[in-house]
Every structure is written in C-alpha cells, then in structure tokens.
Structure 1
Amino acid sequence: MRRLLISMLLFAAVLLTGCTYEYTEEDGYRMAVINEGFPVPKNAYELRPEDCTTEITKSAKYKLKGIGDEEGTPPEHYLEEIQRWGWTELEDKRVGHVHYFEKEGKIMSLIIQKNVFDVFEMSEHLEL
C-alpha cells in the first residue's frame, strides 16, 4: 500500500510539473482570442483582460513563463512569427515594450512584460 501511495505521489508530481506554461518556439502558435489573424504562443494561459477604452476595441491578457525579460523584450522568434502571419511592425511607433503591428487596416498592440503579455486590437479612430 505504501509503495502504491509513493508511486501515485511521484506520478502526480511529474504530471503537475509538466503542465507549466512556459514559452518555447517548438510548441507553436495559435490564433488570439480577439483576432483570428494574430498569433499567440499555443501554450499561453489566458487571464482576465484589461478593460477596453476609446483607443482599444478588444483586449486579451496571457500568462506565459519566459515570454519577456525584465525590460519586456519579446522573444525574437515570436516577432518573426507575427510577421509570418502577415503583420508589419510599425517600428517608428514602438514605445518601450509596446509594439504595434498593422495588417489590412487593423492595428494590434503587443505589450510584453516578464511572464505576462497583453494583445490589444486598436480602435480604427486611433491616430498613431
């Protein structure tokens, strides 16, 4: 009985550590909940989003270990994946760790922080 209990506890510990949400480019990407054409890492865990404002039409917040460093620098592979999905970064509009991307008249904002990131679909009335 004791061996069975120890085995079950070890199995549970391995299972729980395997469920950690951590950024790896090998896991791939999926569509953001707010815009089907914008990628987010597949294993990102969705949190309660920020409230929308007149500048923001839709928002989504994700938790993902290793997505950004202390300065909010996103992984280079993630930025490349966003471009592969057809988005062009508006580099002249970047402010710190806030990145803006444009595709077919839509503007998305990506804000990376350590282990958390936000994706915003910006209002059409926004002047950047």
Structure 2
Amino acid sequence: MKKILTVIFFSSILLVACTNSPPQMEGYMESEVIADFPIPEEAVTNDSSSNNPNLIYVGYDYEKVSATEGIPQDYQDAITEWGWTENEAERMGAFRVFEKGTRSVGFSFHEGWFALHEDTED
C-alpha cells in the first residue's frame, strides 16, 4: 500500500510539472524576455527598443512576417497551441493582442521583424 501511495504521489508531481511547462513544438522556443510566449527558432533578437519604462519589450528579426501579409499561419497555430488566444477586439492593422489567463502580450509586425511587449503595471 505504501508503494502504491508513493507511486501516485510522484506521478502527481510529474503530471503537474509537465502541465506547467510550455508545449514543445518543433521550430519554436520560449521567448527569453516574454515568458511562456513562443518564438520561431530562426527569429533573432534585434536592437529595437521602447522608451516606456512600464513595458517589457523585445524585437525579433524574422523574415516570414510582414506588415502586409501578417503573421504566418504556422506561427499563429503555435501561439494558439501554447495557450494564447487573440483578443480580436484589440486588432488594429499590423498590431495584435494575445491573452493567456490574466496576461496580455502586444504583437506588432513589420517588414521582416516583429516586436512583443507586455505591460509591467498591474
């Protein structure tokens, strides 16, 4: 009986640990700046910045995004797979907002690069 309880206990810990980590999708990794948000592995951090001290901000060079074509479907699928949903009411031109729980991440896309930002104020 003690062995069964021990197995159940450690199985529960393993299940919780696996549930809280982002999904492992080939070709995507977690942003080093915006936690739990997927970034294409071929995207490279660029030197774009924000003067707003209330934002966590990061830019990425990624040739598959553009202001006219938007976010590639496979990247949109990865964002959804990682548990983020688009707030379509916030959509404006080349700007999207993705939400997960109480978090909100702005996604602006340009010719060959994109930027993510998250508000640090509560």
- Output the TM-score relative to the length of structure 2: 0.71
Paired position in structure 1 for 2:56: 58
Paired position in structure 2 for 1:22: none
- Name the CA distance, whole Å, in 2 between partners of 1:48 and 1:27: 26
**Equivalent residue for 1:106, pick from 83, 103, 107:** 103
Change in 2 beyond 3 A, CA 1:52/1:104: farther
Task: Show CA shifts across 1:83-116 (max 9, x none).
Answer: 1100110011111110001112110011111111
Q: CA RMSD in A?
A: 2.0
AA at the equivalent of 1:30: M
Aligned length: 98
How far did residue 52 of structure 1 move?
A: 4.5
- Name the CA distance, whole Å, in 1 between partners of 2:80 and 2:68: 22
- Name the CA distance, whole Å, in 2 between partners of 1:115 and 1:46: 12
Paired position in structure 1 for 2:116: 119
Identity, % of aligned pairs?
Answer: 24
Paired position in structure 2 for 1:44: 43
Task: Show CA shifts across 1:11-63 (max 9, x none).
Answer: xxxxxxxxxxxxxxx96111112122100111111112312426x52011011
- Name the CA distance, whole Å, in 2 between partners of 1:93 and 1:113: 17
Structure 1: any 5+ residue segments left out of the alignment?
1-25
- Name the CA distance, whole Å, in 2 between partners of 1:91 and 1:27: 27
Runs of 4+ in 1 over 6 A off after TM superposition: none
AA at the equivalent of 1:46: T
- Output the TM-score relative to the length of structure 1: 0.68
SS of 1:82's equivalent in the other structure is helix
